[in-house]
A and B are shown apart, each in its own frame.
Chain A
Amino acid sequence: MFHFSNIVRTKGDPKIVEGGPSLKQPADQLARALGWFSIGLGIVEFFAPRRVTETLGMEGRETMVRAFGLREILAGVMSLSVDKNAGLWARVGGDGLDAAALLSGLTSDNPRKSNVALALLMVGGIAVLDYRAAQETKPQRPPPNARRKLYPNRSGFPKGPQAAKARAKEMIQHATAGVAS
Protein backbone atom coordinates (compact mmCIF):
# COMPACT_ATOMS: atom_id res chain seq x y z
CA MET A 1 0.00 0.00 0.00
CA PHE A 2 2.72 2.47 0.96
CA HIS A 3 4.49 1.89 -2.39
CA PHE A 4 1.46 3.52 -4.03
CA SER A 5 1.35 6.41 -1.55
CA ASN A 6 5.09 7.00 -2.10
CA ILE A 7 4.41 7.67 -5.80
CA VAL A 8 2.28 10.72 -5.04
CA ARG A 9 4.65 12.26 -2.44
CA THR A 10 6.15 15.61 -3.34
CA LYS A 11 9.73 15.16 -4.53
CA GLY A 12 12.10 15.46 -1.61
CA ASP A 13 9.48 14.67 1.07
CA PRO A 14 10.15 11.58 3.20
CA LYS A 15 8.91 8.33 1.72
CA ILE A 16 8.14 5.14 3.62
CA VAL A 17 10.98 2.63 3.50
CA GLU A 18 9.61 0.11 5.97
CA GLY A 19 6.14 0.06 7.52
CA GLY A 20 5.74 -0.24 11.29
CA PRO A 21 3.10 -2.30 13.08
CA SER A 22 -0.50 -1.26 12.56
CA LEU A 23 -2.84 -0.24 15.37
CA LYS A 24 -5.59 -2.18 13.64
CA GLN A 25 -6.55 -5.45 15.28
CA PRO A 26 -8.14 -8.42 13.46
CA ALA A 27 -11.45 -7.41 15.09
CA ASP A 28 -11.20 -3.99 13.39
CA GLN A 29 -10.78 -5.71 10.01
CA LEU A 30 -13.73 -7.96 10.80
CA ALA A 31 -15.84 -4.93 11.78
CA ARG A 32 -14.94 -3.29 8.49
CA ALA A 33 -15.86 -6.40 6.50
CA LEU A 34 -19.16 -6.71 8.36
CA GLY A 35 -19.87 -3.02 7.76
CA TRP A 36 -19.49 -3.38 4.00
CA PHE A 37 -21.44 -6.64 4.02
CA SER A 38 -24.23 -4.87 5.90
CA ILE A 39 -24.36 -2.06 3.37
CA GLY A 40 -24.36 -4.52 0.45
CA LEU A 41 -27.16 -6.64 1.94
CA GLY A 42 -29.08 -3.49 2.84
CA ILE A 43 -28.95 -2.20 -0.72
CA VAL A 44 -30.28 -5.51 -2.05
CA GLU A 45 -33.09 -5.57 0.52
CA PHE A 46 -33.99 -1.93 -0.02
CA PHE A 47 -33.95 -1.90 -3.82
CA ALA A 48 -35.03 -5.48 -4.62
CA PRO A 49 -37.34 -6.54 -1.77
CA ARG A 50 -39.51 -8.62 -4.11
CA ARG A 51 -36.59 -10.80 -5.16
CA VAL A 52 -35.87 -11.43 -1.50
CA THR A 53 -39.45 -12.31 -0.54
CA GLU A 54 -39.86 -14.58 -3.59
CA THR A 55 -36.65 -16.44 -2.76
CA LEU A 56 -37.92 -17.01 0.76
CA GLY A 57 -41.53 -17.74 -0.19
CA MET A 58 -42.63 -14.83 1.96
CA GLU A 59 -44.43 -12.68 -0.60
CA GLY A 60 -46.33 -9.70 0.78
CA ARG A 61 -43.59 -8.74 3.25
CA GLU A 62 -41.78 -6.34 0.89
CA THR A 63 -42.26 -3.29 3.12
CA MET A 64 -40.70 -5.09 6.06
CA VAL A 65 -37.75 -6.24 3.93
CA ARG A 66 -37.24 -2.70 2.68
CA ALA A 67 -37.24 -1.40 6.27
CA PHE A 68 -34.75 -4.11 7.21
CA GLY A 69 -32.61 -2.96 4.27
CA LEU A 70 -32.55 0.58 5.58
CA ARG A 71 -31.60 -0.73 9.01
CA GLU A 72 -28.76 -2.78 7.50
CA ILE A 73 -27.41 0.25 5.63
CA LEU A 74 -27.45 2.44 8.76
CA ALA A 75 -25.82 -0.26 10.89
CA GLY A 76 -23.23 -0.78 8.16
CA VAL A 77 -22.36 2.92 7.98
CA MET A 78 -22.08 3.00 11.77
CA SER A 79 -19.83 -0.09 11.76
CA LEU A 80 -17.46 1.68 9.36
CA SER A 81 -17.36 4.86 11.48
CA VAL A 82 -15.34 5.59 14.64
CA ASP A 83 -18.42 4.42 16.56
CA LYS A 84 -18.06 0.93 15.11
CA ASN A 85 -18.90 -0.76 18.38
CA ALA A 86 -22.36 0.84 18.40
CA GLY A 87 -22.80 -0.23 14.77
CA LEU A 88 -21.85 -3.81 15.57
CA TRP A 89 -24.24 -4.01 18.50
CA ALA A 90 -26.94 -2.60 16.21
CA ARG A 91 -26.14 -5.44 13.85
CA VAL A 92 -26.42 -7.99 16.67
CA GLY A 93 -29.88 -6.61 17.47
CA GLY A 94 -30.73 -6.66 13.78
CA ASP A 95 -29.69 -10.32 13.55
CA GLY A 96 -32.31 -11.07 16.20
CA LEU A 97 -34.99 -9.27 14.20
CA ASP A 98 -33.91 -11.09 11.02
CA ALA A 99 -34.09 -14.44 12.79
CA ALA A 100 -37.55 -13.69 14.20
CA ALA A 101 -38.83 -12.63 10.77
CA LEU A 102 -37.37 -15.73 9.12
CA LEU A 103 -38.82 -18.04 11.77
CA SER A 104 -42.27 -16.71 10.93
CA GLY A 105 -41.69 -17.92 7.36
CA LEU A 106 -40.60 -21.39 8.41
CA THR A 107 -44.05 -22.93 8.04
CA SER A 108 -45.03 -26.24 6.50
CA ASP A 109 -47.08 -24.57 3.75
CA ASN A 110 -44.08 -22.50 2.55
CA PRO A 111 -42.72 -24.16 -0.62
CA ARG A 112 -39.40 -22.34 -0.11
CA LYS A 113 -38.92 -23.29 3.50
CA SER A 114 -35.55 -24.88 2.73
CA ASN A 115 -34.34 -21.44 1.58
CA VAL A 116 -35.67 -19.95 4.81
CA ALA A 117 -33.77 -22.58 6.82
CA LEU A 118 -30.59 -21.81 4.88
CA ALA A 119 -31.08 -18.08 5.49
CA LEU A 120 -31.59 -18.75 9.21
CA LEU A 121 -28.36 -20.70 9.29
CA MET A 122 -26.55 -17.80 7.63
CA VAL A 123 -28.04 -15.27 10.02
CA GLY A 124 -26.86 -17.47 12.92
CA GLY A 125 -23.32 -17.59 11.54
CA ILE A 126 -23.21 -13.87 10.87
CA ALA A 127 -24.65 -13.17 14.33
CA VAL A 128 -21.73 -15.08 15.90
CA LEU A 129 -19.28 -12.92 13.91
CA ASP A 130 -21.17 -9.72 14.80
CA TYR A 131 -21.17 -10.61 18.48
CA ARG A 132 -17.47 -11.49 18.45
CA ALA A 133 -16.55 -8.27 16.67
CA ALA A 134 -18.75 -6.22 19.03
CA GLN A 135 -17.10 -7.83 22.07
CA GLU A 136 -13.59 -7.28 20.74
CA THR A 137 -14.02 -3.66 19.65
CA LYS A 138 -15.40 -2.43 22.97
CA PRO A 139 -14.22 1.16 23.55
CA GLN A 140 -11.21 1.30 25.87
CA ARG A 141 -12.50 4.39 27.66
CA PRO A 142 -12.35 4.07 31.41
CA PRO A 143 -15.80 3.68 33.01
CA PRO A 144 -17.27 6.83 34.61
CA ASN A 145 -16.68 5.47 38.10
CA ALA A 146 -13.04 4.55 37.44
CA ARG A 147 -10.42 6.02 39.77
CA ARG A 148 -8.70 8.96 38.08
CA LYS A 149 -5.46 10.68 38.84
CA LEU A 150 -6.07 14.29 39.81
CA TYR A 151 -3.71 17.21 39.30
CA PRO A 152 -4.49 19.69 42.10
CA ASN A 153 -0.89 20.97 42.23
CA ARG A 154 -0.48 21.80 38.57
CA SER A 155 -1.34 25.48 38.50
CA GLY A 156 1.20 26.32 35.82
CA PHE A 157 2.01 29.50 37.73
CA PRO A 158 5.40 29.01 39.40
CA LYS A 159 4.61 31.83 41.86
CA GLY A 160 1.07 30.59 42.48
CA PRO A 161 -2.36 31.59 41.10
CA GLN A 162 -2.76 34.49 43.51
CA ALA A 163 0.54 36.02 42.40
CA ALA A 164 -0.51 35.57 38.75
CA LYS A 165 -3.79 37.41 39.43
CA ALA A 166 -1.98 40.18 41.31
CA ARG A 167 0.53 40.55 38.49
CA ALA A 168 -2.32 40.81 35.94
CA LYS A 169 -3.97 43.51 38.05
CA GLU A 170 -0.70 45.37 38.28
CA MET A 171 -0.22 45.19 34.49
CA ILE A 172 -3.74 46.53 33.89
CA GLN A 173 -3.22 49.40 36.33
CA HIS A 174 0.10 50.14 34.65
CA ALA A 175 -1.51 50.11 31.19
CA THR A 176 -4.42 52.30 32.36
CA ALA A 177 -2.06 54.80 33.97
CA GLY A 178 -0.06 54.86 30.74
CA VAL A 179 -3.18 55.68 28.73
CA ALA A 180 -4.29 58.35 31.24
CA SER A 181 -0.93 60.12 31.19
Chain B
Amino acid sequence: MKALVWHGKEDIRCDTVTDPEIQDPRDAIIKVTSCAICGSDLHLFHNFIPGMMPGDIMGHETMGEVVEVGPGVDGKLKKGDRIVVPFTIICGECDQCKRGNFSVCETTNRKKHLADKVFGHSTAGLFGYTHLTGGYPGGQAEYLRVPFADATHIKVPAGIPDEQLLFLSDIFPTGWQAAVQCDIVPTDTVAIWGCGPVGQMALRSAILLGANQVIAIDCLPERLSMAEAAGATTINFENESVLERLKELTDGRGPEKCIDCVGMESHVMASWPDTLLDRAKQMVMLESDRPHVLREMIYVCRPGGIISVPGVYSGFSDKLPMGAFMNKGLTMRTGQTHVNRWTDDLLRRIEQGEIDPSFVITHTVPLKQGPEMYQVFRDKRDSCVKVVLKP
Protein backbone atom coordinates (compact mmCIF):
# COMPACT_ATOMS: atom_id res chain seq x y z
CA MET B 1 0.00 0.00 0.00
CA LYS B 2 1.00 3.66 -0.26
CA ALA B 3 1.72 5.63 2.91
CA LEU B 4 3.33 8.91 3.94
CA VAL B 5 6.52 7.95 5.71
CA TRP B 6 8.82 10.06 7.89
CA HIS B 7 12.46 9.84 6.79
CA GLY B 8 13.94 12.69 8.80
CA LYS B 9 13.63 16.43 9.37
CA GLU B 10 11.53 17.98 6.56
CA ASP B 11 11.61 14.71 4.66
CA ILE B 12 8.30 12.90 4.27
CA ARG B 13 7.87 10.55 1.33
CA CYS B 14 5.03 8.65 -0.25
CA ASP B 15 6.47 5.14 -0.01
CA THR B 16 5.18 1.71 -0.88
CA VAL B 17 4.94 -0.29 2.35
CA THR B 18 3.62 -3.70 3.31
CA ASP B 19 -0.06 -3.86 4.26
CA PRO B 20 -0.88 -3.83 7.98
CA GLU B 21 -1.84 -7.13 9.59
CA ILE B 22 -4.03 -8.10 12.50
CA GLN B 23 -1.55 -8.46 15.39
CA ASP B 24 -3.93 -8.84 18.28
CA PRO B 25 -7.46 -10.25 18.60
CA ARG B 26 -8.75 -6.75 19.42
CA ASP B 27 -7.38 -5.25 16.17
CA ALA B 28 -9.27 -4.17 13.10
CA ILE B 29 -8.00 -3.05 9.71
CA ILE B 30 -9.67 -0.19 7.90
CA LYS B 31 -9.47 0.95 4.31
CA VAL B 32 -8.81 4.66 4.70
CA THR B 33 -11.25 6.84 2.78
CA SER B 34 -10.01 10.24 4.06
CA CYS B 35 -7.19 11.47 6.25
CA ALA B 36 -5.77 14.88 7.07
CA ILE B 37 -2.55 16.68 7.93
CA CYS B 38 -2.71 18.14 11.44
CA GLY B 39 -0.83 21.19 12.68
CA SER B 40 0.86 18.95 15.22
CA ASP B 41 2.21 16.81 12.34
CA LEU B 42 4.33 19.85 11.49
CA HIS B 43 6.17 19.52 14.82
CA LEU B 44 7.19 16.04 13.65
CA PHE B 45 8.00 17.36 10.17
CA HIS B 46 10.40 19.79 11.86
CA ASN B 47 11.68 17.03 14.16
CA PHE B 48 10.94 19.14 17.24
CA ILE B 49 9.36 16.25 19.11
CA PRO B 50 11.77 13.47 20.02
CA GLY B 51 11.09 9.83 19.31
CA MET B 52 10.49 9.64 15.56
CA MET B 53 12.35 6.99 13.57
CA PRO B 54 12.87 6.81 9.81
CA GLY B 55 10.18 4.52 8.45
CA ASP B 56 7.39 5.76 10.76
CA ILE B 57 4.05 6.29 9.02
CA MET B 58 2.52 9.70 9.68
CA GLY B 59 -1.05 10.70 10.43
CA HIS B 60 -3.59 10.69 13.22
CA GLU B 61 -6.73 12.12 11.60
CA THR B 62 -8.24 9.22 9.73
CA MET B 63 -11.52 7.58 8.82
CA GLY B 64 -12.51 4.68 6.67
CA GLU B 65 -14.30 1.39 6.24
CA VAL B 66 -13.62 -1.71 8.31
CA VAL B 67 -12.26 -4.48 6.10
CA GLU B 68 -11.04 -6.99 8.69
CA VAL B 69 -11.66 -7.55 12.38
CA GLY B 70 -9.84 -9.67 14.94
CA PRO B 71 -11.76 -12.30 16.93
CA GLY B 72 -11.57 -10.18 20.11
CA VAL B 73 -13.44 -7.18 18.70
CA ASP B 74 -16.45 -8.89 20.14
CA GLY B 75 -19.17 -7.83 17.75
CA LYS B 76 -18.54 -4.12 18.36
CA LEU B 77 -17.37 -3.69 14.78
CA LYS B 78 -17.96 -5.64 11.63
CA LYS B 79 -16.73 -5.59 8.06
CA GLY B 80 -18.23 -2.70 6.17
CA ASP B 81 -18.74 -0.45 9.20
CA ARG B 82 -17.82 3.17 8.60
CA ILE B 83 -15.67 4.58 11.40
CA VAL B 84 -13.71 7.65 12.36
CA VAL B 85 -10.53 6.72 14.22
CA PRO B 86 -9.80 8.86 17.31
CA PHE B 87 -6.14 9.81 17.48
CA THR B 88 -5.88 8.48 21.04
CA ILE B 89 -5.84 4.68 21.23
CA ILE B 90 -7.96 3.55 24.17
CA CYS B 91 -8.65 0.26 25.89
CA GLY B 92 -11.94 1.34 27.47
CA GLU B 93 -11.23 -0.81 30.51
CA CYS B 94 -8.49 0.81 32.62
CA ASP B 95 -9.20 3.17 35.51
CA GLN B 96 -8.44 6.29 33.41
CA CYS B 97 -10.69 5.17 30.56
CA LYS B 98 -13.47 4.50 33.05
CA ARG B 99 -13.04 8.06 34.36
CA GLY B 100 -13.29 9.38 30.79
CA ASN B 101 -9.62 10.40 30.78
CA PHE B 102 -9.05 8.57 27.53
CA SER B 103 -5.89 10.42 26.44
CA VAL B 104 -4.07 9.04 29.47
CA CYS B 105 -5.25 5.44 28.99
CA GLU B 106 -2.93 3.26 31.03
CA THR B 107 -2.91 0.30 28.66
CA THR B 108 -2.42 1.25 25.05
CA ASN B 109 1.08 2.73 24.92
CA ARG B 110 3.13 -0.26 23.83
CA LYS B 111 6.37 1.64 24.59
CA LYS B 112 5.21 2.66 28.03
CA HIS B 113 8.73 2.45 29.49
CA LEU B 114 9.86 5.38 27.31
CA ALA B 115 6.94 7.62 28.29
CA ASP B 116 7.32 6.65 31.95
CA LYS B 117 10.92 7.89 31.83
CA VAL B 118 10.19 11.13 29.98
CA PHE B 119 6.80 12.18 31.41
CA GLY B 120 6.82 10.39 34.76
CA HIS B 121 3.82 8.36 33.69
CA SER B 122 2.79 6.92 30.38
CA THR B 123 -0.04 8.44 28.36
CA ALA B 124 -2.22 6.70 25.79
CA GLY B 125 -0.84 5.30 22.59
CA LEU B 126 -1.31 7.66 19.64
CA PHE B 127 -1.36 6.98 15.93
CA GLY B 128 1.66 8.20 13.98
CA TYR B 129 3.04 10.30 16.80
CA THR B 130 6.50 9.17 17.90
CA HIS B 131 7.70 6.14 19.79
CA LEU B 132 7.04 7.94 23.09
CA THR B 133 3.36 7.26 22.42
CA GLY B 134 3.76 3.73 21.17
CA GLY B 135 5.27 4.13 17.71
CA TYR B 136 1.98 3.08 16.12
CA PRO B 137 1.85 3.48 12.33
CA GLY B 138 -0.33 6.42 11.40
CA GLY B 139 -3.30 6.83 9.12
CA GLN B 140 -1.89 8.81 6.20
CA ALA B 141 -2.00 5.55 4.29
CA GLU B 142 -4.32 3.37 2.26
CA TYR B 143 -4.94 0.98 5.16
CA LEU B 144 -4.61 1.34 8.92
CA ARG B 145 -4.46 -1.19 11.70
CA VAL B 146 -6.61 0.03 14.58
CA PRO B 147 -5.42 -1.51 17.85
CA PHE B 148 -8.00 -1.98 20.63
CA ALA B 149 -10.53 -1.42 17.86
CA ASP B 150 -13.47 -2.52 19.99
CA ALA B 151 -13.00 0.72 21.98
CA THR B 152 -10.93 2.90 19.62
CA HIS B 153 -13.51 3.93 17.09
CA ILE B 154 -16.39 6.30 16.47
CA LYS B 155 -19.09 4.63 14.39
CA VAL B 156 -20.59 7.10 11.95
CA PRO B 157 -23.72 6.85 9.84
CA ALA B 158 -23.84 6.65 6.06
CA GLY B 159 -25.15 9.67 4.22
CA ILE B 160 -22.91 12.31 5.80
CA PRO B 161 -19.82 13.09 3.73
CA ASP B 162 -16.35 12.21 5.07
CA GLU B 163 -15.44 15.89 5.15
CA GLN B 164 -18.04 16.62 7.84
CA LEU B 165 -17.03 13.68 10.01
CA LEU B 166 -13.27 13.30 9.60
CA PHE B 167 -12.42 15.96 12.16
CA LEU B 168 -14.15 14.04 14.94
CA SER B 169 -10.82 12.19 14.98
CA ASP B 170 -8.94 15.15 16.47
CA ILE B 171 -9.35 18.85 15.77
CA PHE B 172 -13.07 19.19 16.47
CA PRO B 173 -13.05 17.46 19.88
CA THR B 174 -9.71 19.15 20.59
CA GLY B 175 -11.18 22.60 20.02
CA TRP B 176 -14.30 21.57 21.91
CA GLN B 177 -12.37 20.26 24.92
CA ALA B 178 -10.31 23.47 24.93
CA ALA B 179 -13.51 25.49 25.22
CA VAL B 180 -15.20 23.16 27.72
CA GLN B 181 -12.09 23.38 29.93
CA CYS B 182 -12.76 27.12 30.16
CA ASP B 183 -16.05 26.65 32.06
CA ILE B 184 -17.58 29.33 29.85
CA VAL B 185 -20.39 31.45 31.33
CA PRO B 186 -22.55 33.85 29.28
CA THR B 187 -20.64 36.97 30.37
CA ASP B 188 -17.22 35.63 29.37
CA THR B 189 -14.80 36.95 26.83
CA VAL B 190 -12.77 34.10 25.38
CA ALA B 191 -9.51 35.01 23.64
CA ILE B 192 -8.00 32.43 21.32
CA TRP B 193 -4.40 32.58 20.18
CA GLY B 194 -3.87 30.91 16.78
CA CYS B 195 -6.52 30.59 14.08
CA GLY B 196 -5.29 27.36 12.56
CA PRO B 197 -7.68 24.41 12.35
CA VAL B 198 -7.80 23.81 16.14
CA GLY B 199 -8.22 27.53 16.82
CA GLN B 200 -11.10 27.67 14.32
CA MET B 201 -12.80 24.73 16.05
CA ALA B 202 -12.15 26.18 19.51
CA LEU B 203 -13.69 29.53 18.64
CA ARG B 204 -16.81 27.91 17.16
CA SER B 205 -17.02 25.69 20.24
CA ALA B 206 -16.79 28.76 22.50
CA ILE B 207 -19.69 30.30 20.55
CA LEU B 208 -21.73 27.09 20.84
CA LEU B 209 -21.02 27.06 24.57
CA GLY B 210 -22.41 30.56 24.92
CA ALA B 211 -19.44 32.93 25.28
CA ASN B 212 -20.39 36.59 25.20
CA GLN B 213 -17.43 37.63 23.08
CA VAL B 214 -14.83 35.55 21.21
CA ILE B 215 -11.57 37.17 20.14
CA ALA B 216 -9.29 35.44 17.62
CA ILE B 217 -5.60 36.32 17.36
CA ASP B 218 -3.40 35.52 14.34
CA CYS B 219 -1.48 37.27 11.58
CA LEU B 220 -2.78 35.48 8.48
CA PRO B 221 -5.64 37.30 6.73
CA GLU B 222 -7.26 34.10 5.42
CA ARG B 223 -7.42 32.58 8.90
CA LEU B 224 -8.68 35.81 10.45
CA SER B 225 -11.36 36.06 7.76
CA MET B 226 -12.48 32.51 8.59
CA ALA B 227 -12.66 33.45 12.28
CA GLU B 228 -14.64 36.61 11.49
CA ALA B 229 -17.07 34.55 9.40
CA ALA B 230 -18.07 32.71 12.59
CA GLY B 231 -18.62 35.94 14.48
CA ALA B 232 -15.28 36.41 16.24
CA THR B 233 -13.59 39.76 16.75
CA THR B 234 -10.08 39.50 15.31
CA ILE B 235 -6.66 40.86 16.20
CA ASN B 236 -3.84 40.79 13.65
CA PHE B 237 -0.76 40.81 15.86
CA GLU B 238 1.44 42.08 13.05
CA ASN B 239 -0.61 45.27 12.81
CA GLU B 240 -1.67 45.94 16.39
CA SER B 241 -0.65 45.24 19.96
CA VAL B 242 -2.41 42.17 21.33
CA LEU B 243 -2.18 43.45 24.91
CA GLU B 244 -3.61 46.88 24.17
CA ARG B 245 -6.35 45.61 21.90
CA LEU B 246 -7.45 42.95 24.40
CA LYS B 247 -7.55 45.59 27.11
CA GLU B 248 -9.65 47.80 24.88
CA LEU B 249 -12.08 45.00 24.01
CA THR B 250 -12.58 44.03 27.66
CA ASP B 251 -12.74 47.50 29.22
CA GLY B 252 -9.31 47.00 30.74
CA ARG B 253 -10.21 43.80 32.61
CA GLY B 254 -8.61 41.28 30.27
CA PRO B 255 -10.32 38.18 28.87
CA GLU B 256 -11.67 35.80 31.50
CA LYS B 257 -10.74 32.77 29.42
CA CYS B 258 -7.68 32.31 27.20
CA ILE B 259 -7.02 29.41 24.83
CA ASP B 260 -3.58 28.60 23.40
CA CYS B 261 -4.04 26.96 19.99
CA VAL B 262 -0.45 27.68 18.97
CA GLY B 263 1.75 25.52 21.16
CA MET B 264 5.47 25.01 20.95
CA GLU B 265 6.24 26.77 17.65
CA SER B 266 5.03 30.27 18.33
CA HIS B 267 5.61 32.99 15.73
CA VAL B 268 9.04 34.66 15.85
CA MET B 269 9.14 38.45 15.40
CA ALA B 270 11.93 40.95 15.88
CA SER B 271 9.58 43.13 17.95
CA TRP B 272 9.11 40.28 20.44
CA PRO B 273 12.62 39.69 21.82
CA ASP B 274 11.53 36.67 23.86
CA THR B 275 10.62 34.84 20.66
CA LEU B 276 14.08 35.45 19.20
CA LEU B 277 15.72 34.12 22.35
CA ASP B 278 13.42 31.09 22.40
CA ARG B 279 14.19 30.33 18.75
CA ALA B 280 17.94 30.58 19.38
CA LYS B 281 17.68 28.32 22.43
CA GLN B 282 15.50 25.85 20.58
CA MET B 283 18.07 25.70 17.81
CA VAL B 284 20.88 24.71 20.16
CA MET B 285 18.56 22.44 22.15
CA LEU B 286 18.60 24.54 25.32
CA GLU B 287 14.79 24.74 25.21
CA SER B 288 12.33 22.52 23.38
CA ASP B 289 9.34 24.87 23.21
CA ARG B 290 8.72 28.51 22.29
CA PRO B 291 6.10 29.54 24.86
CA HIS B 292 5.50 33.17 23.85
CA VAL B 293 1.73 32.62 23.78
CA LEU B 294 1.70 31.15 27.30
CA ARG B 295 3.61 34.17 28.60
CA GLU B 296 1.24 36.57 26.88
CA MET B 297 -1.86 34.74 28.11
CA ILE B 298 -0.67 34.72 31.72
CA TYR B 299 0.05 38.44 31.48
CA VAL B 300 -3.23 39.44 29.88
CA CYS B 301 -5.74 37.02 31.44
CA ARG B 302 -8.16 38.51 33.94
CA PRO B 303 -7.28 37.56 37.55
CA GLY B 304 -9.12 34.42 38.55
CA GLY B 305 -9.36 33.41 34.89
CA ILE B 306 -8.70 30.14 33.11
CA ILE B 307 -6.00 29.31 30.62
CA SER B 308 -6.73 26.33 28.38
CA VAL B 309 -3.90 24.79 26.40
CA PRO B 310 -4.75 22.42 23.55
CA GLY B 311 -1.60 23.52 21.66
CA VAL B 312 1.12 20.88 21.74
CA TYR B 313 4.18 21.37 23.96
CA SER B 314 6.88 18.73 23.88
CA GLY B 315 9.32 19.30 26.71
CA PHE B 316 10.76 22.32 28.46
CA SER B 317 9.67 25.96 28.38
CA ASP B 318 11.73 28.79 29.86
CA LYS B 319 10.83 32.09 31.48
CA LEU B 320 7.21 31.38 32.28
CA PRO B 321 5.93 34.16 34.54
CA MET B 322 4.88 31.92 37.43
CA GLY B 323 4.73 34.93 39.74
CA ALA B 324 1.94 36.48 37.70
CA PHE B 325 0.29 33.11 37.22
CA MET B 326 0.21 32.43 40.97
CA ASN B 327 -0.64 35.91 42.18
CA LYS B 328 -3.45 36.36 39.66
CA GLY B 329 -4.96 33.08 40.80
CA LEU B 330 -5.13 31.64 37.31
CA THR B 331 -6.05 28.08 36.49
CA MET B 332 -4.41 26.17 33.66
CA ARG B 333 -6.06 23.19 32.02
CA THR B 334 -4.42 21.23 29.29
CA GLY B 335 -3.90 17.76 27.86
CA GLN B 336 -4.24 15.67 24.78
CA THR B 337 -7.89 15.29 23.88
CA HIS B 338 -10.14 12.71 25.50
CA VAL B 339 -11.70 12.28 22.06
CA ASN B 340 -14.36 9.68 22.87
CA ARG B 341 -15.61 11.74 25.84
CA TRP B 342 -17.00 14.33 23.42
CA THR B 343 -17.76 12.59 20.15
CA ASP B 344 -21.35 11.42 20.83
CA ASP B 345 -22.39 15.01 21.52
CA LEU B 346 -20.39 16.43 18.61
CA LEU B 347 -21.68 13.84 16.14
CA ARG B 348 -25.22 14.73 17.22
CA ARG B 349 -24.49 18.42 16.62
CA ILE B 350 -23.19 17.64 13.13
CA GLU B 351 -26.21 15.49 12.35
CA GLN B 352 -28.58 18.23 13.56
CA GLY B 353 -26.84 20.83 11.41
CA GLU B 354 -25.59 22.94 14.33
CA ILE B 355 -22.08 22.86 12.91
CA ASP B 356 -20.36 21.66 9.76
CA PRO B 357 -16.64 21.16 10.42
CA SER B 358 -15.84 20.87 6.71
CA PHE B 359 -15.68 24.68 6.56
CA VAL B 360 -12.00 24.47 7.50
CA ILE B 361 -10.88 22.39 4.48
CA THR B 362 -9.03 24.47 1.93
CA HIS B 363 -7.15 21.76 0.04
CA THR B 364 -8.15 18.22 -0.94
CA VAL B 365 -5.51 16.21 -2.80
CA PRO B 366 -4.56 12.59 -3.49
CA LEU B 367 -2.38 10.89 -0.85
CA LYS B 368 0.65 10.85 -3.14
CA GLN B 369 0.71 14.65 -3.10
CA GLY B 370 0.93 14.56 0.70
CA PRO B 371 4.66 15.32 0.99
CA GLU B 372 4.33 18.54 -1.03
CA MET B 373 1.25 19.51 0.97
CA TYR B 374 3.28 19.33 4.18
CA GLN B 375 5.41 22.13 2.73
CA VAL B 376 2.42 24.11 1.47
CA PHE B 377 0.70 23.83 4.87
CA ARG B 378 3.90 24.69 6.76
CA ASP B 379 4.63 27.73 4.59
CA LYS B 380 0.94 28.83 4.55
CA ARG B 381 1.15 28.98 0.78
CA ASP B 382 -2.01 29.29 -1.30
CA SER B 383 -3.94 30.44 1.82
CA CYS B 384 -3.81 26.87 3.10
CA VAL B 385 -5.65 26.18 6.36
CA LYS B 386 -6.44 22.46 6.28
CA VAL B 387 -5.38 19.67 3.96
CA VAL B 388 -7.42 16.51 3.41
CA LEU B 389 -5.76 13.59 1.67
CA LYS B 390 -7.61 10.97 -0.36
CA PRO B 391 -5.82 7.60 -0.61
Contact = CB atoms under 8 A, between A and B. Distances in A.
B220 interface: yes
Contact of A10 (B110, B356, B360): B110
A135 B53 CA distance: 30
Contacts of A172: 186, 210
Contact of A77 (B204, B284, B371): B284
B46 A82 contact: yes
Contacts of A77: 283-284
Interface in B93-129: 110
A156 B230 contact: yes
Contacts of A148: 220-222, 383
B357 A14 contact: no
Contacts of A151: 222, 225-226, 229, 359, 362, 383, 385
A24 B45 CA distance: 12
A24 B6 CA distance: 12
A14 B20 contact: yes
Contact of A2 (B55, B110, B356, B382): B55
A156 B230 CA distance: 7
A102 B231 CA distance: 62
B208 A167 contact: yes
B248 interface: no
Contact of B7 (A22, A81, A161): A22
B16 A24 contact: no
A157 B228 CA distance: 12
Contact of B381 (A10, A78, A142): A142
A152 B228 contact: yes
Contacts of A181: none
A96 B20 CA distance: 54
B10 A28 contact: yes
Contacts of B380: 141-142
Contacts of B284: 74, 77
Interface string B205-233: 00111100000000011100110111100
Interface bracket on B: 35 or more
Interface band, chain A: 35 or more
A125 interface: no
A140 B141 CA distance: 27
Central interface residue in B1, B7, B55, B231, by most chain A CB within 10 Å: B55
A21 B7 CA distance: 11
B366 interface: no
Given A16-B55, A142-B380, A161-B231, A23 B375 contact: yes
Given A24-B11, A158-B356, A18 B16 contact: yes
Interface of B: 1, 3, 5, 7, 9-21, 23, 46, 53-55, 57, 110, 135, 137, 141, 145, 186, 200, 204, 207-210, 220-222, 225-226, 228-231, 238, 279, 283-284, 353-357, 359-360, 362, 368, 371-372, 374-375, 379-383, 385
6 contacts: A10-B135, A28-B10, A149-B382, A155-B359, A157-B207, A164-B204
